[in-house]
Structure 1
Amino acid sequence: MTEKNQDRFRLLVKICQLYYEEGLNQMEIAKRLGISRPHVSRMLTAAKNEGIVRISINNPFSAEQELEKSLIDAFGIQDALVVDSSDTEPAGLPALLGRAGAALIESVLRDGDIVGIMAGHTIGCAAEEMDYFARDGMQFVPLVGGWGSDGAAWHASTNAMAFANKLKSKYSMFHAPALVANEETGMLLRQEPEIAKVLELARSSRVAVVSIGEVSEESTMVKSGSFSEEDMTVLKKLGAAANLCASFLDERGQVIDFPVSNRLIGLDARELRSIPTVIGIAGGAAKVTAITAALKGKWIDILVTDSETARDIVAISSPNE
């Protein structure tokens, strides 16, 4: 090494020690050494390029982040948030996903947002886990009516109210069931001024927070009494794999033309797609097929799920499978 190169190397090392070990900022180093701040910046960049400085990040979330990348690459979604569920019992999964969802929602929401909220226990948990943060002029609105009289604590209206109360914001309520007795009643209810107003507000949402329902006897719509065994039989024969708001999807993520659709009160999947940011929060073995269908159809922009579910989704979506 020539004397000139040795002097340069010595200066690089000194600048790195001042910056990384002693905590001086670039301007302080420039004043101390009598050089310009841009020159300090160039020297720090050169030190990294030449291997004098190696930055190592102690990342305890590397496995989950690999799954996130796999989901993003496989389905072309905007983002994914995967949380470790290896030590979580199935009963604790809604709370785990709710905490992760609450943190994500805080980072996404802006002043003046209209936020569409779906029904479901996990969405309710996200509201419970939410800590207050200041945003001006937000409003929360349900995306569908109520799934029966049972489980009212997880209705879309109840969840919207829970989010709004936590964040000291306005909210709207759907004074209508998600499923009515016949198509004529559905048409009349959708034309009712108060219901039409809520539907229009929901369509104006910038952010939607949705659950992804499985098509089974364990789903919210069945447990609430809204859907009969006969309805479920018809859905399964049509190839339904997922419930998303007031729509049903097949395994490819395509909307199914279901005879009951005109009896549903709420936004359908196509209306949901017009909302700029749709956050789906769902997990568990029973929902792997449903979540995969929603991803294949590109109905959601950001997915919050658990590591076991993410692995299963990636496995069944792999070209080698």
Structure 2
Amino acid sequence: MPEINHERFRLLVKICQLYYEDGLNQLDIAKRLGISRPHVSRMLAAAKSEGIVRISIHNPFSSEQELEKCFIETFGIQDAIIVDSSDSDPNKLHAQLGRTSAALIESVLMDGDIVGLMAGRTVASAAEELDYFAREGLQFVPLVGGWGSEGGAWHASSNTMAFANKLKSKYWMVHAPAVVANVETGILLRQEPEIDKVLQLAQRSRVAIISIGEVSEQATMVKTGNMSHEDITEVEARGAVANLCASFIDLDGREIDFPGKNRFIGLTARELRAIPNVIGIAGGAQKVKAITAALRGKWIDILVTDAATARAIIDFHRSNEAK
């Protein structure tokens, strides 16, 4: 090796040691050696390309991350976060998804954000698992009214209040049910100034945190009495497999039209889609069709789910091609 190349190699190794072993940043190295920061950056890149530096990552999450890549490629979403949860107990699964979502939410929220919240136990778990972190000017707002008159810690307004209390932030409430008895009442309630103000604010959300509801007799909207057996039978007959806010979507991800849609108090799926960052949190075998529909319709940007559900979604999607 010519002497000049030998000295260049020596400098390259020195820069690598300062950066990777001593923890100096590129600007510190540039000042220390009297060279430009872009030159330091080029030398670090050269060190990797020449094999002087080999980066090895100890990754205990490799199988889940392969699934995440598969979801991004298959459905064209922004990101997926998949956790390995072998526990089939719904409460423990909700807690795990909540912990994972809480870490994501901390990295996503920015000063001044308006954050829309949907009803759901997974969303409630995310609020429960959240630790305080400082953000200025956050506002939390429900995306729909209440699911039934019985008290619950997972109503949209309850979730809104829980997030706001954890982060010491301002919050708003919708003092109306998510579904009312008739269309006329629904139209009148949405015109109420206080309700309209909150729903208008919800449309300005930068981030939405939602659950993905299945359409069945076991769905929360049925168990709480908001929708009758006849209601759910009607939307199922029209092809509905998922509920997103105040809308229903079919297996191909298309929003469906149905006579009772004006009975709902809340944002529609199309209004939800206009929110820049929609985080969907859902898991469990009963949610496979619903999550698949939401992914096919690109109604969410980031999905948080468990590995067993993720594999079932991929299998279901591949064996039931969209029309």
TM-score > 0.5 by shorter chain: yes
1:190 aligns with 2:190: yes
Partner Cα distance (1:82, 1:160) in 2: 24
Partner Cα distance (1:31, 1:55) in 2: 25
Contact 1:146-1:152 at 8 Å conserved across structures: no
Aligned to 1:75: 75
Aligned to 1:36: 35
Secondary structure of 2:249's aligned partner? strand
Aligned to 1:65: 65
Partner Cα distance (1:234, 1:31) in 2: 70
- The Cα of 1:187 is off from its aligned counterpart by 0.9
Aligned to 2:172: 172
Within 5 Å, which residues of 2 pair with 1:176-255?
176-255=176-255
Partner Cα distance (2:254, 2:25) in 1: 54
Partner Cα distance (1:228, 1:174) in 2: 22
Please provide the CA RMSD for this pair. Answer: 2.3
Aligned to 2:286: 286
- Give the letter aligned to residue 298 of structure 2: K
Aligned to 2:264: 264
Identity of aligned residues (%): 72
1:148 aligns with 2:148: yes
Secondary structure of 1:152's aligned partner? coil
Deviates more, 1:309-318 or 1:259-268: 309-318
Secondary structure of 1:303's aligned partner? strand
Partner Cα distance (2:130, 2:185) in 1: 37
Task: List runs of 5+ in structure 2 lacking aligned partners.
Answer: none
Contact 2:97-2:126 at 8 Å conserved across structures: yes
Cα deviation digits, residues 274-311 of structure 1 (max 9, x gap): 11111111111110110110111111111111111111
Over 3 Å counting, the alpha-carbon distance change for 1:53 and 1:222 in structure 2 is same
Over 3 Å counting, the alpha-carbon distance change for 1:109 and 1:13 in structure 2 is closer
Aligned to 1:126: 126
- Give the letter aligned to residue 132 of structure 1: Y
Paired residues in the alignment total 320
Secondary structure of 1:298's aligned partner? coil
Over 3 Å counting, the alpha-carbon distance change for 1:147 and 1:52 in structure 2 is same
- The Cα of 1:257 is off from its aligned counterpart by 1.0
Partner Cα distance (1:122, 1:25) in 2: 40
Over 3 Å counting, the alpha-carbon distance change for 1:18 and 1:147 in structure 2 is closer
Secondary structure of 2:153's aligned partner? helix
1:139 aligns with 2:139: yes
Task: List runs of 5+ in structure 1 lacking aligned partners.
Answer: none
Under a length normalisation based on structure 1, what TM-score does the superposition of the two structures give?
0.91
- The Cα of 1:14 is off from its aligned counterpart by 4.9
Under a length normalisation based on structure 2, what TM-score does the superposition of the two structures give?
0.91
Partner Cα distance (1:59, 1:298) in 2: 29
Partner Cα distance (2:163, 2:59) in 1: 31
Partner Cα distance (1:254, 1:102) in 2: 29
